[in-house]
Structure 1
Amino acid sequence: MAMGSQSESLTTDADTRSPTRPCSEVSNPTLADLPICLLEIIMSLLVLKDNICASAACKSWLEAAKSVRVAKKNPWLMCFPNRGNLYEFHNPFQWKLYTMNLPELAISTVCYAREGWLLAHRSISKEIFFFNPFSRELISLPKFEPRFLKFAFSSPPTSDKVVVLALYFPREDIVIISTCHPGATEWITGNFLTGSKPDNDLVYVNNRFYCFNTRGGTLYSFLPSPRIWHRHTVECPYPQPYLVNKTVSLAEKKGALFLITCSNEKTMMYKLVSLQWKEMRSPAIDGLTIFVSSCNSELRTNLPWLKNNVYFSRFGRGPKHCLSYSFDESRYSQIMEWLEFCPRGSLWIDPPENVLVDL
């Protein structure tokens, strides 16, 4: 894997305040007296070899270093080239850029991403395949008609239980659903009735694929094994009619389904509980970090210096600043009226396993 990188310093707005201590304890403060939340943030910015060296300083540094060493890192932003095969991978929170030449993705469209894998297809040749840009592993699927508009898969293609799903809507009230898996020789296809056309990306949670109609607020699911398409009676969480300039995304975490709505004024987050959307507000969001793009949305729970924020797949005015919304402060990082939240030319992807190592 040939990757080049460049980096700059990073500043954060993390709250580093610690409880008040007696004067006798702070009269001769040392680095060991830093609060654990600040130590975790510092350690999370170190590559693996520096993390290990820092952990030898004292007991508190060891605990902080180990806690972030095993933590799952933030996803990277993968940006597609307008021409050619040179793809960019940004870690916007460490201001690092990696570039990779990926001819395997030539003249293809990436339609879904999950756990470091991409699902891509070529309309002319009808090819559809899995691709891991870091390992360069490519896994082909049976050829497929390019008319299908929505794709998703349940787990990495190396899993024995992976299911690939494709949806096509020839009419507003009909959906054509096809499923497949690596090693299969053909797709299994069937027609199902639907009340309205889902216009949101697919999410897999609890053995079902979910999608959402943003205008009517209707939630749909598909159970692959018995091949059941179901319309769920769930009250729309936001006011009707549909608001202009609103981005609506589905996401999942630990078996729960979440809905994120983004408008020029604010971002709202809801959790599906007993077929009802329950609004989540800080501190009920409980340290979640949400990464939203047009192809996928990712949730994280162990990123202390990014908690209670939504990050979008578009950069702001600065070339390395990622647009975000803070639930704690109820505001965007900048005015967003004229900006598209999630352009089609980028998505969030899990970094390679050796992300803590200098590449």
Structure 2
Amino acid sequence: MSTEITEQNAENQTWRDLPLDLLISAMSHLEIKDNVRASSVCKSWYEAAVSVRVTEQPPWLIHFPKSRNSYEFYNPSNSEKHPMELPESLSGFKVRYSKDGWLLMSKNISSDFVLFNPFTMDLVVLPYLELWYGYQLVGFSCPPTSSDCVVFTIKDYDPGHVTIRTWSPGEATWTSKQVYESQFLDVKHNYLVFSNGLFYCLNLRNDLAVFDPSLRTWKVLDVTPPTRPDHIDDESWCAGKFMVGYKGEIFVVCTFGNEQPLVFKLDLARGVWEKMENLGGLTMFVSVNSCESRTYVDEGMLRNSVYFPKLCDDETRCVRYSFDERRYDPVEHSVNWGKQSSSEDIWIKAPEYGYEMV
């Protein structure tokens, strides 16, 4: 008799009756959008879903409101500002790329490159680099405190001649790699993301190429460019782009004045850019020289949104686009993002909680 009751109870059990530890284990494998949906099923699912959500601190915006030697950190979650001064040795330097709390900086068309941490004031001076009229695209893989750090520069000197140079901690000179293929880079509007151990490069024509620093190989991928809407002119389509990486995924955000941005996710298996209707719960922070993304940001920040490197006129918030609300905030942001290639404002990974500004 007891056996029959046990079997009947087992048949009547549902997913809602799973032990909390099993629910938590299952929830830990869900993306944020699925986590949020699961949390609405019942009380036990809500508790399990919320318990595994890791709140991520949004990046800060480095804003240059006054001169090249002064700047501000702007925290978009609470609108706090922290004015800072660059060291005298970096006078005249500009930010070229940002990753993991570090900045890659150089003087205009200069061969003097440095890696600078504005929170700790640590400075790494890179070896002299002969660029001949400046770089076209630069970036780095991770902080120079790691032996895995690779600083990457790429330059097209003339048609069919691509030169790639890299540097890693402990090296006294740059390592060169020349590739004789069709010219890839453009005079402007080139984009770079480091993901899955590779540097992904996107040019004005939406061609995509990768450089593998471990194998020192360069390859232009057979990927069909994103489809341009009929009502968007060629100049706007080519200019208003941002490339974003997130946990191995590569995205392109295309903007056109006050219209809704278009977002495409790279599908390497199919060789296409897949159009997305929304960000699936992601929050993206985009700028010309570097982009950041988060899954579950602080209270006060909007998920499924894109934050741009531009403060509103009242300077209390950033311009953003919400895919949930289908609008910009402010609605009339008066900025054509396709014309913002010269913007020096850039997002940087913020320090851990409890950090005090020096």
Fold match, TM over 0.5? yes
Q: Give per-residue Cα distances to partners, 1:71-117, cap 9 Å, x unaligned.
A: 22001110235535222111133111101122243111211000100
Q: Tell me, what secondary structure is at the counterpart of 1:202?
A: strand
1:167 equivalent in structure 2: 154
Mapped to 2, the partners of 1:189 and 1:358 lie a distance apart of 38
Q: Retained in 2: the 8 A contact 1:309–1:327?
A: yes
Q: Does 1:179 align with 2:166?
A: yes
Q: Does 1:76 align with 2:60?
A: yes
**1:93 to 1:184, Cα distance in 2 relative to 1, 3 A:** same
**1:99 to 1:124, Cα distance in 2 relative to 1, 3 A:** same
Q: Does 1:156 align with 2:143?
A: yes
Return the match for 2:99 from 101, 111, 114. Answer: 114
**What count of residue pairs does the alignment treat as equivalent?**
295
Q: Give per-residue Cα distances to partners, 1:177-236, cap 9 Å, x unaligned.
A: 101112211111122223432532211111110111233x21111111222111111111
Q: Does 1:324 align with 2:325?
A: no
Mapped to 2, the partners of 1:332 and 1:175 lie a distance apart of 39
Return the match for 1:136 from 121, 141, 148. Answer: 121
**1:267 to 1:129, Cα distance in 2 relative to 1, 3 A:** same
Mapped to 2, the partners of 1:339 and 1:269 lie a distance apart of 17
Q: Following superposition of structure 1 onto structure 2, how do residues 1-359 of structure 1 map, counting pairs within 5 Å?
A: 71-80=55-64, 82-83=66-67, 85-103=69-87, 104-122=89-107, 126-146=111-131, 147-192=134-179, 193-198=181-186, 199-215=189-205, 217-239=206-228, 242-244=234-236, 246-264=239-257, 265-273=259-267, 274=269, 275-282=271-278, 285-303=279-297, 305-333=301-329, 334-336=331-333, 338-340=335-337, 342=340, 343-355=342-354
Mapped to 1, the partners of 2:174 and 2:199 lie a distance apart of 17
Structure 1: segments with no counterpart, 5+ residues:
1-61
Note the C-alpha offset of 1:337.
Answer: 5.1
Mapped to 1, the partners of 2:109 and 2:163 lie a distance apart of 21
Q: Give per-residue Cα distances to partners, 1:119-143, cap 9 Å, x unaligned.
A: 1123587321111001011112111
Note the C-alpha offset of 1:165.
Answer: 0.3
Mapped to 1, the partners of 2:109 and 2:250 lie a distance apart of 35
Q: Retained in 1: the 8 A contact 2:256–2:337?
A: no
AA in 1 matched with 2:292: E
**Which structure is larger by alpha-carbon Rg, 1 or 2?**
2
Q: Which 10-residue stretch deviates more, 76-85 or 287-296?
A: 76-85
Q: Which 10-residue stretch deviates more, 139-148 or 307-316?
A: 139-148
Q: Tell me, what secondary structure is at the counterpart of 2:148?
A: coil
Mapped to 2, the partners of 1:73 and 1:67 lie a distance apart of 16
Q: Give per-residue Cα distances to partners, 1:24-81, cap 9 Å, x unaligned.
A: xxxxxxxxxxxxxxxxxxxxxxxxxxxxxxxxxxxxxx9999878x622001110235
Q: Retained in 1: the 8 A contact 2:266–2:273?
A: yes
Q: Retained in 2: the 8 A contact 1:289–1:299?
A: yes
Q: Retained in 2: the 8 A contact 1:203–1:250?
A: yes
Q: Retained in 1: the 8 A contact 2:96–2:104?
A: yes
Q: Which 10-residue stretch deviates more, 140-149 or 252-261?
A: 140-149
Mapped to 2, the partners of 1:321 and 1:90 lie a distance apart of 9
Identity %: 33
Q: Retained in 2: the 8 A contact 1:200–1:248?
A: no
TM-score (norm 2): 0.75
1:46 equivalent in structure 2: none
TM-score (norm 1): 0.74
Structure 1 moving runs of 4+ over 6 Å: 62-68, 356-359
Q: Which 10-residue stretch deviates more, 167-176 or 266-275?
A: 167-176
Note the C-alpha offset of 1:244.
Answer: 2.0
Q: Retained in 2: the 8 A contact 1:140–1:182?
A: no
Mapped to 2, the partners of 1:123 and 1:337 lie a distance apart of 29
Note the C-alpha offset of 1:358.
Answer: 9.1
Q: Retained in 2: the 8 A contact 1:200–1:249?
A: no
Note the C-alpha offset of 1:259.
Answer: 1.1
Note the C-alpha offset of 1:286.
Answer: 2.0
Note the C-alpha offset of 1:351.
Answer: 1.5
AA in 2 matched with 1:250: M
Mapped to 2, the partners of 1:137 and 1:74 lie a distance apart of 22
Q: Tell me, what secondary structure is at the counterpart of 1:244?
A: helix
Mapped to 2, the partners of 1:200 and 1:194 lie a distance apart of 16
Mapped to 2, the partners of 1:290 and 1:345 lie a distance apart of 18
Q: Retained in 2: the 8 A contact 1:211–1:250?
A: no
